[in-house]
């Protein structure tokens, strides 16, 4: 629990300067940058935890082979296409999707930054923190089921809060948008 709270604090420390320090920047850029900074905060907390451990084999890492690289590239490409399609559908229709990042408002570079954060950075950062570190640590001191339960109990509220905050921002933007 302390590790996840620490990760949230690190994420906050990275996002606060973006939210309050960037004046005159499009909302899409601010949102995309805060999303990226938040995920980097998770990654930093997980790596810091692992660096402090004396057992370097806690999260086994190996060099992927060619087949694994091809599968990874296909998965990342598919994720980019799926997220881009979802973002575009929300912008071009009356769909109001919670957790939709307003990357389109920031133009092509904003969209690229949003996709980088959502598809490339978020999955490995969250997997490392919640499954690689939290789940494995709890499983080592209790049981596999306990590790899964604790990781899930910590993972879900973090994402529910993020979806709620993003949905709130989406509703605020929708009210400002001319019909």
- Residue 69 in any domain: the answer is no
Token representation of residue 146: 């306990």
Structural domain including 99 reads 2-54+76-174
Q: Is 114 exposed, middle or buried (0-12, 13-18, 19+ CB in 10 A)?
A: buried
Count CB-CB contacts under 10 A for residue 62: 6
Residue 168 is inside which H or E element, if any? Answer: helix 144-176
63 belongs to a structural domain: no
CB 118 within 8 A of CB 101: yes
Number of domains in the chain: 1
Residues near 160 by Cβ (< 8 Å), separated by ≥ 6? none
Residue 142 counted as domain residue = yes
The pLDDT assigned to 66 comes to: 92
Residue 73: what are its φ and ψ, rounded to 5°?
Answer: -65, -40
Q: What is the pLDDT of residue 133?
A: 86
Residue 94 lies inside a defined structural domain of this protein: yes
**Residue 67: per-residue pLDDT:** 93
Cα–Cα distance for residue pair 81/115, rounded to 1 Å: 9
d(Cα 83, Cα 90) in Å, to the nearest integer?
11
Task: Kindly state whether residue 100 falls inside one of the protein's structural domains.
Answer: yes
Compute the distance between CA of residue 97 and CA of residue 100 in angstroms, rounded to an integer: 6
Q: What is the distance between the terminal CA atoms of the chain, rounded to a whole angstrom?
A: 45
In a domain, 42, yes or no: yes
The answer to the question of residue 126 being in a domain is yes
Is 50 among the domain residues?
A: yes
Q: What pLDDT score does 164 carry?
A: 64
pLDDT given at position 103:
46
Q: What is the pLDDT of residue 145?
A: 93
**Predicted pLDDT at 84:** 76
Per-residue pLDDT of the chain (179 residues; tens, 9 = 90+): 677 777 777 777 776 666 666 655 555 566 777 778 888 888 888 888 888 877 767 777 778 899 999 998 898 888 888 877 877 776 676 555 544 555 445 567 777 777 788 778 888 888 888 888 889 888 989 999 999 999 888 888 877 766 666 555 555 555 555 54
Token code pair at residue 144? 């596999």
């Amino acid at each position: 629990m302390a590790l996840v709270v620490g990760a949230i604090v690190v994420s906050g420390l990275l996002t606060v300067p973006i939210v309050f320090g960037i004046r005159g920047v499009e909302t899409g850029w601010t949102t995309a940058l805060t999303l990226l900074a938040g995920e980097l905060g998770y990654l930093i907390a997980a790596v810091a935890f692992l660096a402090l451990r004396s057992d370097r084999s806690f999260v086994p890492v190996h060099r992927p082979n060619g087949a694994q690289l091809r599968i990874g590239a296909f998965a990342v490409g598919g994720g980019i296409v799926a997220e881009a399609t979802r973002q575009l559908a929300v912008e071009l229709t009356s769909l109001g999707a919670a957790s939709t990042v307003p990357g389109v408002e920031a133009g092509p570079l904003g969209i690229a930054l949003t996709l980088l954060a959502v598809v490339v950075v978020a999955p490995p950062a969250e997997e490392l923190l919640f499954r690689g570190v939290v789940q494995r640590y709890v499983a080592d001191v209790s049981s596999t089921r306990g590790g899964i339960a604790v990781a899930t109990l910590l993972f879900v509220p973090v994402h529910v809060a993020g979806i709620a905050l993003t949905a709130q921002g989406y509703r605020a933007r929708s009210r400002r948008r001319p019909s």
